[in-house]
Structure 1
Amino acid sequence: MDDVRNIARPPHRILIVSDAWMPQVNGVVRTLSTIAGELRAMGHVVEVIGPDRFRTIPCPTYPDIRLSIFPGRRLARLIEDFAPDRLHIATEGPLGIAARRWAIRHGHRFTTSFHTRFPEYLQARTNLPLGPSYAFLRRFHNASSGTMVATASLADELRGRGFRHIVSWSRGVDLSRFSPEPRRDWAAEYGIPRPIFLYVGRIAVEKNIPAFLALDLPGSKVVVGGGPLLGELKQRFPDVVFTGPFSEAELAAAYAGGDVFVFPSRTDTFGLVLLEALASGVPVAAFDVTGPRDVLAGTGGAVGSVGDDLRAAALAALGADRAACRAHAERFGWPACAQTFLRALVPLTGERPSVPA
């Protein structure tokens, strides 16, 4: 196979439009920013258009996320000024909708990606049914020439919901940044007993964190991250160590200091934190759902455990091999992930998408 940084063709001008972008800190932003860097290292010209270039308002129920206000005209100018030959629409928010409308109006092809289960997130916050939300997402993505998804189980689920043109695009982990050493000594730092059951991520309702915190487990629980549910969970679970958000420089040692990484989410489409924990030598415990099921597939329990009983999975993961965790994570590199993304992109010119704007 050719080296992924070997340019066998003239460089592409690749435009990524995303409603999730810096200074937000989440898996979508980490994925897109890393992919953009890898593509530039290959020699391609990459631009990311995010909400930072527009007037925004806070997202209802989640003010840390900013939504662009009436971005259509300015976004059209930015797209035309950059003159891409590949267009990828990463999200289904105001910018994604405006980019999709521009592409269809001008007869240009584009790709999309399914990062987030917004119907389930919306239902968790408002009790709205899933049907109308999935109908919107299906219409949005089926206008594209390809919808990139991170796992085989998610691909099967979306096909069952009527999504077409599904393309596989897995995720990666920075193996030089996340490693088994150095390890943060949570027990000594906070005077708490081992084993350390650790969660790292956003503290929000869709992450299902109380399902972890309410478990009867030996040792201690540590939660790293911030979000709208942080204050409430601190009050409900006073015996849990809540550290708040960490800088990127602190995260690797924080992961490595855990004995088991517990991932209680039932709605994530992948879960980059799973790979970060494994790269840090920490086994994973999770529900048997899309994301964990795919990341741990074929490992036979050597790097963690998934199941319907999260407590049983967490206890089983204690016996996993930390060296095996690291070795499994080494299968997921960002350069190969970027090459897969590049292959999935389509030329801007071509047949007009058949779904109306």
Structure 2
Amino acid sequence: MITLDNLTKSFVQKDGSQVSAVNAVSLDVPPGEICVFLGPSGCGKTTTLKMINRLIRPTSGRVLINGEDTRQLDEIALRRHIGYVIQQIGLFPNMTIEENIAVVPRLLGWDKTRCRARATELMAMVALDPKRYLSRYPRELSGGQQQRIGVIRALAADPPVLLMDEPFGAVDPINRESIQNEFLQMQRQLGKTVIMVSHDIDEAIKLADRVAVFRQGRLVQFAQPDALLAKPVDEFVASFVGHDRILKRLLLVRAEDAATPQPTVRPQTPASEAFALMDELDTRSLVVVDASARALGYIARRETRGAQGTCEARVRPFKATAAAGDNLRVLLSRMYEHNLASLPVLGDANQYLGEVTQDSIADYLSSGKSRDLTSG
């Protein structure tokens, strides 16, 4: 959807010398993904963002949107088809909330009925009652409410691309988390291609499909969040993402990634055979599965010692389980809550995928593996 090709911006200083704010940045953002530009102040991330909608003209290089070079497009038309959200929100104080939301749609020739319908639809997405708020003015809303309006105003004309410059930076932590969650939900529904500037690594790993780390105008690393945390390209990136980067990965790694396959038994397996297997493996229990590998529960070693018959009569329900998509932070919390050393990981149809233990989590995180290291 968005390609930056050797994008460069240089400024001439008072003494006539040139300084590069952005130096030969190249990257691709696939359709429907959120890419976060991350880095310290003055690293070139906002300048790069503004070159995409030509608020700043590149010195050299290209920006392509859907394969089309933006240099060939009328700047005003280009900006009307790219949503733009800034930290300062920028609502027009003399306009109602409805009028603010409808600014770009009205410029594009939408009639009043269509504008109102769109405003009503978007207000519902951020849990603001249209009947209460559309006729109000920005000064009558809280900071968090105003920021929500700023986000949905950028989406009003249904642009395929959304640019966001530290959109949640001025909001208090409680509202920020709520707005971030609402934004992610909207993104899943609308599938926009989003580029967001941030200096907050926690925000980046929560929201981004890909993260671009900038330093002194250069792109240092471009990777998916887990790959960034697992394999920082240099000491600068490692320091910027935080020395607790391994713990941050708990939110990104899924149960199925850290699960290790384990032997299982069937209901009809003789109890003596199950005991012998547990004795050989030196384990306290085994998962019982049916012919379709669906987990039925577990059997305990102590209950099969010297037992006659099959495992079926001795199957116990799990105290707790993990879904394949649960993150490791959730898993650890569940383990501690139930005082368990391991959790069985189950698929959508209850298939047994393996087990996660504290040791398997530690092994996975220390190995440097990630879901995708190809872009790092």
Query: TM-score by structure 2 length?
Result: 0.26
More strand by share: 2
Higher relative contact order (CA 8 A, sep 6+): 1
Query: TM-score by structure 1 length?
Result: 0.27
